[in-house]
Amino acid sequence: MKTTNRPILLVEDDQVDTMTVMRALKEIHVTNPVVHLENGEEALLYLQDPASEKPCIILLDLNMPIMNGIEFLQVVKHNDRLKRIPVIVLTTSEEQQDKMSSFNLGVVGYVVKPVDYRRFVEVMRSIDAYWNISEMP
């Protein structure tokens, strides 16, 4: 996703969706390491660990156990050390309230996961292309 090759943080509880993301990233030749965690609480622990490398981007599911994506965003986007990490919501939720809450909490994108694998690969290719040209602070 970025030439610095910092990790991508994937926060996703569904194993099939995780495998789909990993497969799509491999197919489009993204070489960044992927750190996969299954809920917002695990992701926060990772981000707050001084030994963990800060990710170049967070791909975030919303519907997860323990701490869901909105709860995760509420913490991350109010933390001065973490709030500038770009977050793209990658979810099955088409609920308007989820979209509004996500954007109000500072996500840079909201993508409803396509069911079709080819379309999913194209979505991931678009995300990758955008982050390769985007300038970060």
What percent of the chain clears pLDDT 90, i.e. is strictly above it? 77
Q: How far is CA 54 from CA 17, 84, 116, in A?
A: 23, 11, 31
Domain ranges of the chain: 8-129
What is the mean predicted confidence (pLDDT) over 5-21? 93
**pTM for this one?**
0.91
Which has the closest alpha carbon to 7: 27, 28, 37? 37
pLDDT for res 136: 65
Domain 8-129 has CATH 3.40.50.2300: yes
pLDDT for res 112: 92
Give residue-wise pLDDT tens across range 48-81: 999 999 999 999 999 999 999 999 999 999 999 9
Give residue-wise pLDDT tens across range 93-120: 888 999 999 999 999 999 999 889 999 9
Scanning 65-110, the segments in alpha helix (DSSP H) are 69-76, 96-104
